[in-house]
Amino acid sequence: MQLFTGSRPGCHWQCLIGPADAATWTRFVDHMIALAEQVQPGDVVLDLWFDAGMPSAADRARFTSTFSDSPVTQRVRAHAVATNSSISRGILTAINWVIKRPFDERIFATPDAALAWLATMAPDLNTDAVQADLDSAIPGFRALRW
């Protein structure tokens, strides 16, 4: 599995492209924990998972324990996840019915839909620039069939 990351003012993004493996999910969680120090008030976060599956129970627990008491959650304006997995979308949607976060979070089937929603949450976000970042940083990104 491959992990790509990037940031621009107001937006932090991560992209996982499968097939899934435990080592990359662990790197993803490590990246998200480190990212917490970079998030500024009002920033948005975009996660893109293509054929990536879900992190292990141990990685989920480590991530949850790190962020449950972290002040970073108060700085995030919105979080969008786009995944081509209908199972992952269903699981994440169900989790969001139960867990209330201090920021808005939505799950999408495509990156375009996720970016469009983030633009409504952060009108100052340059979604064209984020899309250009994705296109240049991730080989074959536009060819992925979400």
Each residue of 107-140: pLDDT tens digit? Answer: 999 999 999 999 999 999 999 999 999 999 999 9
pTM over 0.75: yes
**Measuring CA to CA, which residue among 89, 145, 78 is closest to residue 118?**
78
pLDDT in tens, 11-56: 999 999 998 788 888 888 888 888 878 889 999 999 999 998 877 7
For residue 2, give both structure tokens: 């491959």
> Exposure string (b/e) for 65-91, b if CB count within 10 Å is 16 or more?
eebeeeebeeebbbbbbbbbbeebbee
Whether residue 120 contacts residue 85, with contact meaning beta carbons closer than 8 Å, is answered with no
The rounded distance, in Å, linking the Cα atoms of 41 and 143 is 34
pLDDT in tens, 72-86: 778 889 999 999 988
pLDDT at 68: 65
CA distances from residue 85 to 12, 82, 110, 118, 142 in whole angstroms, order as listed: 22, 9, 10, 20, 17
Q: Which DSSP symbol is given to 55?
A: -
Classify 137 as helix, strand or coil: helix
